[in-house]
Amino acid sequence: MSLVMAIANKNGIVMSGDRRLTIQKTYHGEAEFTNTYYNDRTQKIYISERGHVFGIAGCAISIDGRYIPDILPNIIRELDKESLTLKEELVIIQNELRHNIVNPASILCAGIENGENVIFRTSTDIENSEIISKTDGVYGGDAIGMYTTALNIIKESGIHTYDLSLSELVDFMQSVNSTTAKSIKKIKSVNEKCDIVAITPEYGAKWVLEDRSRIYELK
């Protein structure tokens, strides 16, 4: 699984993506068993040249055995060659992933267009392929992956995100990500650390850097 979140308010948008890639391998023999491996350096959110941010959650393995970091950046690089809206870019990514990955994945994206905060959610699954808008132009948000747990944590916190500065929103989303990770009992498919992007009208989409050794694919 994963946890990717985006929250918008009057100050801009903050988007986060945890760093864990969960790999399960089933071995068949006299006794069938499954081993679970974790990679905690995985990037799940990406910034395009136009300042749009895309995140993916789910078992996104390509037909030829590649994982998220080997699939999504190349698609986004191709999008950067054209002048497209966030929704138009999302449609292309959705179609490309649908034809290249084995299992369905969820996609969350965010950006500021014509002065409005925009967040969309969709899936590569044919039955859930509708592109859903998650803002009113200013306020809104959504999550994919372990979204039920994360949204419950947000609700139980009692914090109204529309009042937060972007710095406070970054801290809050880091806390939600960490709390979600700690709450998982069995397959711990969310890492306590996450990558974060802040999107503002003044500066566009920028990484919020805590780990200086962290190297990001794309912008």
Phi, psi of 44 (to 5 degrees): -120, -10
- pLDDT at residue 24 in the model: 55
What is the chain's mean pLDDT, rounded? 89
pLDDT for the residue 26: 55
> Which of 26-30, 187-191, 215-219 is the most confident on average?
187-191
What single letter denotes the amino acid at residue 35?
Answer: N
Other CB atoms within 10 A of residue 28 CB: 7
pLDDT at site 185: 83
Q: Give the mean model confidence (pLDDT) for residues 115-133.
A: 95
**pTM: predicted TM-score of the whole model, two decimal places:** 0.91
Give per-residue pLDDT as tens, 43-60: 999 999 999 999 999 876
Q: Pick the more confident residue, 181 or 33.
A: 181
Task: Tell me the helix, strand and coil percentages in the chain, rounded to 5.
Answer: 25, 35, 40
- Give residue 187's pLDDT band: very low, low, confident or very high (50, 70, 90): confident
* 179, 213, 166, 122 alpha-carbon torsion, rounded to 10°: -70
pLDDT digits (tens, 9 = 90+) for 126-166: 888 999 999 999 999 999 999 999 999 999 999 999 999 99
pLDDT value at residue 33 = 45
- pLDDT per position as a tens digit, 66-93: 877 788 999 999 998 888 999 999 999 9
Note the residue count of the chain: 219
- Specify burial of residue 29 (Cβ count, 10 A radius: 0-12, 13-18, 19+): exposed
The dihedral formed by the CA atoms of 76, 91, 214 and 2, expressed in degrees to the nearest 10 = -150
Report in angstroms the alpha-carbon separations of 87 from 52, 90, 109: 10, 5, 9
Query: What does the pLDDT average to over 5-30?
Result: 83
The confidence score (pLDDT) of residue 219 equals 64
The whole-number pLDDT of residue 176 equals 97
List, for residues 23-42, the tens digit of each pLDDT value.
655 556 666 645 556 677 88
